[in-house]
């Protein structure tokens, strides 16, 4: 086994390189219908790429602030952007129109997550709060407080029951969706909690730590399970593909790793796959065996094809 990866388990090959941004790409996300990929950058633009041709189809105009995170609504009709000016902006991706500007945070927006039914949008910030907005109107629904520090990420569970948040002192919190009651808290032993992804349903929560592990929390019983190890340095981004049953992780070691979580093993690892200091997450295509990753050169986006036995794993 090389680098903790079972030989021949998966093959990950570069498929397409997307070029157009003039500065570091900070966020990528596929629309749930697979029609387009959105990317946000330090160059003050959001670019939309056609999901079939992989060419740029639209540049969102009148947009000058940096985009730190992106999220599509479940119906793909709204694109939310977390921005450097402390706002969340809602866009119509079909018409390229700005729908709303959501203000309230006191620092940049670092994480976004739509609820599975599209009713709610959550956002988090170094201002120590998680805010919940009604979607698509953008009306304020709740401010979740009590975080001791920089809130790094948020994630709704696939069944819509829970909203999870994590922050730099290593704590992870679960909030009940709808009434937004605080339900549970757990603390990492492996340093800061930097990134979140629910894995294979709503019970298991993956947490990227500041010490290079992907920690696994059983939300039903409130216990930490054996972590996934292999990164050197902080794990800054996570994304799970329900169709492929694979968890992708970014690390500050510049590595992209793919995990079969239920088997607790690494299925693939790519050296120098991205710029490790970027606190972004990879993005799985909803139907194809493709993973979008901001490239190591910073201004480009790589689409990686995930294959098993010479064929796509989907």
In a domain, 3, yes or no: no
Q: Which residues contact 178 (CB under 8 A, 6 or more apart)?
A: none
Length of the chain: 314
Res 308: pLDDT: 72
d(CA 50, CA 227): 37
Contact 193, 171 (CB under 8 A): yes
* Confidence label for 281 from pLDDT (cuts 50, 70 and 90): confident
pLDDT of 8 strictly over 60: no
Q: What is the CATH number of the domain that holds 191?
A: 2.130.10.10
> Cis ω on the peptide bond leading into residue 91 (within 30° of 0)?
no
Res 2: pLDDT: 42
Res 254: pLDDT: 82
Q: Which residues contact 53 (CB under 8 A, 6 or more apart)?
A: none
Task: Report how many domains make up the chain.
Answer: 1
d(CA 237, CA 292): 12
What pLDDT, in 10s, does the model give residues 193-243? 999 999 988 899 999 999 999 999 999 899 999 999 999 889 999 999 999
In a domain, 220, yes or no: yes
In a domain, 148, yes or no: yes
In a domain, 92, yes or no: yes
Edge-to-edge strand ranges of the sheet holding 162-167: 151-156, 162-167, 171-176, 182-187
In a domain, 26, yes or no: yes
In a domain, 171, yes or no: yes
Q: What is the mean pLDDT of the chain?
A: 90
Determine if the pTM surpasses 0.95: no
Residue-number span of the structural domain to which 215 is assigned: 11-312
* Confidence label for 312 from pLDDT (cuts 50, 70 and 90): very low
In a domain, 112, yes or no: yes
Q: Give the range among 42-51, 73-82, 130-139, 296-305 with minimum mean pLDDT.
A: 296-305
Res 148: pLDDT: 75
Res 30: pLDDT: 98
Phi-psi region of 146 (alpha: psi -120 to 50; beta: other; left: phi over 0): left
């Amino acid at each position: 086994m090389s680098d903790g990866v079972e030989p021949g388990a998966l093959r990950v090959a570069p498929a397409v390189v997307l070029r157009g941004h003039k500065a570091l790409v900070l966020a990528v996300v596929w629309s749930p219908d697979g029609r387009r990929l959105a990317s946000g950058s330090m160059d003050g633009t959001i670019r939309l790429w056609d999901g079939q041709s992989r060419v740029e189809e639209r540049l969102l105009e009148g947009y000058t602030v940096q985009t730190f995170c992106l999220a599509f609504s479940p119906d793909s009709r709204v694109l939310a952007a977390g921005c450097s000016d402390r706002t969340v902006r809602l866009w119509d991706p079909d018409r390229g129109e700005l729908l709303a500007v959501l203000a309230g945070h006191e620092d940049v927006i670092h994480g976004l997550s739509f609820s599975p039914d599209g009713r709610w949008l959550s956002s988090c910030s170094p201002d120590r709060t998680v805010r919940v907005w009604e979607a698509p109107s953008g009306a304020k629904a709740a401010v979740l407080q009590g975080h001791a520090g920089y809130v790094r990420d948020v994630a709704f569970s696939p069944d819509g029951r829970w909203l999870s948040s994590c922050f730099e002192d290593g704590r992870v919190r679960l909030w009940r969706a709808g009434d937004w009651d605080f339900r549970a808290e757990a603390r990492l032993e492996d340093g800061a909690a930097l990134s979140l992804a629910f894995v294979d349903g709503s019970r298991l929560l993956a947490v990227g730590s500041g010490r290079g592990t992907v920690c696994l929390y059983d939300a039903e019983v409130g216990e930490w399970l054996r972590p996934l190890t292999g990164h050197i340095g902080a794990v800054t981004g996570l994304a799970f593909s329900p169709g492929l049953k694979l968890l992708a992780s970014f690390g500050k070691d510049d590595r992209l790793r793919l995990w079969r979580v239920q088997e607790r093993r690494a299925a693939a690892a790519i050296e120098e796959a991205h710029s490790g200091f970027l606190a972004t997450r990879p993005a799985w295509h909803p139907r194809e065996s493709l993973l979008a990753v901001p490239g190591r050169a910073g201004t480009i986006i790589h689409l990686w094809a995930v294959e098993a036995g010479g064929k796509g794993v989907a």
